[in-house]
Structure 1
Amino acid sequence: MPKSSFLSEILSTLFKRRDTDHPPLSEASLKDISLALLSAHGEISGMQLSRNFFAHYEKADADQRLGFFNFLADELDIDNEVLQMACADYASQNDTRSLKAVLEAAEPPRQELLRRLNQAPGATANLVRMRTHLLALQRDHANLGKADLDFVHLFKSWFNRGFVVLRHIDWEAPASILAKIIEYEAVHAIDDWDDLRRRLEPRDRRCFAFFHPSIPNEPLIFVEVALATGVPGSVQALLADTREPIDTKAADTAVFYSISNCQAGLKGISFGNSLIKQVVEELRFELPHLKRFVTLSPMPGLVDWLREAAQSGNKKAAGVLEQHQPPTGQPADDLRELAAAYLLSVRRSDGMPRDPVARFHLGNGGMVFNVNASADTSPNGLRQSCGAMANYLYDLDSIEEHHERYVGNCEVVATAEVQQLAKAAQGSPDGGPEDQYWTSKFMAIR
């Protein structure tokens, strides 16, 4: 794969900073270095302390890292007394000075520490990796959630849409970037370099990724796209080794068949909405004849829910689980009906759909276009959804309306066909009145 200006295009958005040698390490602890960094006044000394900190952090063991995160959460927290006094002063004065005091008191010192740690070259990537450790520790140390709020607050600013760069990834991209695509693919595993080549090189395939100038060698999120005629219902057919590429002029549909978040440390920082919208614009510019933009998406929680339904007495769910890979006929119909009901009716306690992929696409303005049986017959597809997958349609004229209906009313917008499938699932398996399982447990179809 030849060299390209791929990385230089990203790096050109930043001023180049000279990378000097690490300063000698001292015997100071992570806490000591942090306090010194908070008291430092010069940019050069701050940069040296930042680099010193990360050198220490990389060598720290699990207990030392936990101690540092406890220091962040407990010792660099908001001073409640100062904040209360500032709020009382603002309530009586209601002027710029008192508001400034409230804002300063409401920001914990750990936010300033994280900003100062970000001074050194490569620090942004280090902080993202650091948050992966923090997230893992939160499972057993709930108090660390306070510190995580500050990581999220700063990352939302540092990684907002104005700072990330969209790049088209093709087979000519640097090998290091291509290796990351293989590593981070989270939906349909890429077996080897030949498999990757089949996804990137043909004329009817596209891949786009967001990069951040401070982390130019690491994609933040990427989407794989297939150009097709019509809306596909099988990912195996879409990715078949023996398939013949189609002429891009014949394609009428762009299919987003895999969207992968790459950085665990950026959990909760949303890129998907911006990515899909910008990729749609890129494809419309390149191929203005495209009529539809759809997904072929997994339903990762379907089997878990089917088990719950079967245990509660739903015969149709029990039958689908016994069949597991429905071939044709009624079992496939049963799976489609239950999958539609799962997407449209099965909700969390907050009223949002239980399925995480559905929440992602509906929140971005997509609508449930179709549900397909035998759509992913891989071991993972059968394990998580009995092979079922969904198509979400991004209708460019209705994206904002669908988004508002979902966010404002928890409404799942779906085609009439999908709604009918969901209603059929809620009927009694014996043809009688509505199954008590549905009326007692889940919201009705809107």
Structure 2
Amino acid sequence: MRGLGPGLTAGRFLSLRFPPRPPRLREKTPAPAEGQCADFVSFYGGLSEVSERAELLSRLAQGFGVDHGQVAEQSAGVLQLRQQPREAAVLLLAEDRLRYALVPRYRGLFHHISKLDGGVRFLVQLRADLLQAQSLKLVEGPHVREMDGVLKSMLSEWFSSGFLNLERVTWHSPCEVLQKISESEAVHPVRSWMDIKRRVGPYRRCYFFSHCSTPEEPLVVLHVALTSEVTSNIQAIVKECPSSETEDKNRIVAAMFYSISLAQQGLQGVELGTFLIKRVIKELQREFPQLGAFSSLSPIPGFTKWLLGQLSSQKEHGHSQLFSDSEAQEIAAAVGGPVHETLKAVLSGHEWVKSEKVVRALQAPLTRLCAWYLYGEKHRGYALNPVANFHLQNGAVLWRINWLGDLSPKGITGSCGLMVNYRYYLDETATHSTAYLGSKHIKASEQVLSLVAQHQKNSKL
């Protein structure tokens, strides 16, 4: 770096390279020079420790945000002008100065860094570091949250659909791309090269979005299985090999979206998955005009945790609204002890699925409770489960609860082995999305609504 010696602290670096704004805004202050932005990128890249980067980000958020003194001064000026007869141009100029005062200084820095070669990629990583630092409690507070929101908003503009390229992955794609696809898979981990070969082979499709500035760099990845029916079990997709190397289009009736993973953690909260599903549906319709069903086969993260919490809560109150008397008796006999206490211990592991007696006793009540969890448990009026909220926002229908749809240890411990299909009826997705986002109404199938009604009836007994 030009003129920046070793051992320079984050605070000292910021004060040297980015002097404060003038106290008065007669004219807009000049943007950070290209050299200053390059120095920031270089200095930040030289910080190897998470704590060092967290300190720099914290200082940037607190010291280079909105100057509240200038905001107060400009606000007073605007109010004064509005109380007096003035030319419109004078008032508009004052309001423009107020708008400028409300812009955090670091926004200008981020904007000009984005113009550097590799600048957008740097900012994606910077936000990933910021999110990690927040999760580790290394940085916190309103200034940090505000900076994260500003950066997220800027990334949302740069990564809007017009700048995204849809790319398909095959076994003949570059090794680097296949490796990145494997590493980014967060739903059903890839265990070997043969595993990834199966997932990009016959009757399978894998797509990702890349940015126009970084081609072949996956941002978000979607895996699709082309099947003869709406599948209810994930092992049939990720473990079983298609019987033929040549696709028979007559056998392909449904497109199953079984995994969507963010490959760049700095893009959390940026609307990429919705765009990707819509683009992939159009791509598949062109390739397979006969496709009649588009559906997800989704995990239910958080269901087991929610259920264990319900068991604890109802044990403390000395009664149960989770199970009927006959169900409670059957479960107690199957698990060999009091329902609430023993069942909590059983569901905390993944060995219970090996007992036919336990599986039989739990099938009806857990399927019913899962339907209620997805349909009835809310956060600010929307579905509590994040995967449900994602698909419902897209206009999908909460279509079918699948008992033991995922027999992997992760599936059993995370959602008691249950999975769910969210169906995309293309002529109705816009209507369903509007109803969900506007009136918070969840469109669900008769199967799901019947299970919800059973839970509500059981809860009143």
Relative to the length of structure 1, the TM-score reads 0.84
Residue 339 (structure 1) aligned to one of 343, 347, 370: 370
Name the % identity.
Answer: 30
Q: Find out whether 1:167 has 2:163 as its counterpart.
A: no
Name the SS for the 1:426 alignment partner: helix
CA distance in 2 between counterparts of 1:220 and 1:261 reads 6
CA-CA distance at 1:355 after TM superposition: 0.7
- AA aligned to 2:191 is D
Shift of 1:191: 0.6
1:237 is displaced (CA, Å) by: 1.1
Q: Which amino acid aligns with 2:235?
A: Q
Checking the alignment, whether the CA contact within 8 Å between 2:304 and 2:416 is kept in structure 1 is yes
CA contact (8 A) 2:293 2:424 kept: yes
1:51 alignment counterpart: 38
Deviation at 1:84, TM superposition (A): 2.9
Larger Rg: 2
Counterpart code for 1:272: G
Task: Using the TM superposition, give the Cα deviation of residue 97 of structure 1 relative to its aligned residue in structure 2, in angstroms.
Answer: 1.9
Gaps of 5+ in 2: 20-28, 315-319, 332-342
**1:165 is paired with a residue of what secondary structure?**
strand
After superposition, what is the alpha-carbon deviation per residue over 1:71-90, rounded to whole angstroms, capped at 9, x for unaligned? Answer: 21121121223223333444
Preserved CA contact (<8 Å) 1:48 1:120: no
Question: Is 1:187 equivalent to 2:198 in the alignment?
Answer: no
Q: Which residue matches 2:108?
A: 112
Number of aligned residues: 407
Give the distance between the partners of 2:287 and 2:194, measured in 1 at CA.
26
Q: 2:447 aligns with which of 403, 417, 425?
A: 417
- Read off the aligned partner of 2:414 and give its amino acid letter: Q
- 1:230 partnered with 2:226: no
Separation in structure 2 between the aligned mates of residue 358 and residue 306 of structure 1, nearest angstrom: 17
Q: Is the 8 A contact 1:343 1:353 kept in 2?
A: yes
Once the two structures are superposed, residues 264-297 of structure 1 have per-residue CA deviations (whole angstroms, 9 ceiling, x without a partner) of 1111112111111111111111111101110000
1:305 matched to which residue of 2? Answer: 306
Distance 1:161 1:393 in 2: 23
Q: What amino acid is the match of 2:309? A: E
Q: CA deviation at 1:239?
A: 2.2
When residues 216 and 33 of structure 1 are mapped into structure 2, their CA distance, relative to the original with a 3 A threshold, is farther
Deviations 1:179-225 (A, max 9, x none): 011101011111111000001021x1111101112333431101000
**1:98 maps to what in 2?**
94
Distance 1:84 1:164 in 2: 40
Instruction: Pick closer, same or farther for the CA change 1:214–1:31 going to 2, 3 Å.
Output: farther
Q: Secondary structure at the match of 2:215?
A: coil
2:146 is matched with: 146
Shift of 1:302: 0.7
1:354 to 384, 394, 411: 384
Give the letter for the 1:359 counterpart: N
Q: What is the aligned partner in structure 2 of residue 375 from structure 1? A: 405
Cα shift at 1:399 = 0.7
Q: Does 1:122 align with 2:118?
A: yes
Q: State the Cα distance separating 1:103 from its structure 2 match.
A: 1.8
Residue in 2 that maps onto 1:258: 259
1:272 corresponds to 2:273: yes
Using a 3 Å threshold, how does the CA distance of structure 1 residues 97 and 342 change in structure 2: closer, same or farther? same
**For residues 63 and 181 of structure 1, do their structure 2 counterparts lie closer, same or farther at Cα, with a shift above 3 Å needed?**
closer
1:68 pairs with 51, 56, 78, which one? 56
In the alignment, which residue of structure 1 is the partner of 2:337?
none
| Partner AA of 2:401 in structure 1 | V
Gaps of at least 5 residues in structure 1 are: 1-21, 429-433, 437-446
Quote the residue 1:289 is aligned against.
Answer: 290
Mapped contact 2:10–2:59 kept (Cα < 8 A): no
Match of 2:24 in 1: none
Shift of 1:173: 1.1
Stretch of structure 1 that moved more, 74-83 or 88-97? 88-97
Deviation at residue 228 of structure 1 after TM alignment: 0.9
How far has the Cα of 1:330 moved from its partner? 5.4
RMSD of aligned Cα (Å): 2.7
Question: How far has the Cα of 1:230 moved from its partner?
Answer: 1.4
The aligned counterpart of 1:7 is none
2:22 counterpart residue number: none
Deviation at 1:241, TM superposition (A): 3.3
Q: Distance in 1 between matches of 2:432 and 2:460?
A: 30
More off after superposition, 296-305 vs 147-156: 147-156
Q: Is residue 2:127 matched to residue 1:131?
A: yes
Q: Displacement of 1:32 after TM fit?
A: 5.6
TM-score (norm 2): 0.81
What SS does the corresponding residue of 1:176 show, helix, strand or coil?
helix
Deviation, 1:169, is 1.4
State the Cα distance separating 1:31 from its structure 2 match.
5.0
One-letter amino acid matched to 1:306: L
C-alpha offsets along residues 238-278 of structure 1, whole Å, 9 cap, x if unaligned?
22334425523321111000010111111111211111111
Structure 2 matches for 1:425-440, cutoff 5 A? 425-428=455-458, 434-435=459-460
TM-superposed deviation, 1:162: 1.4
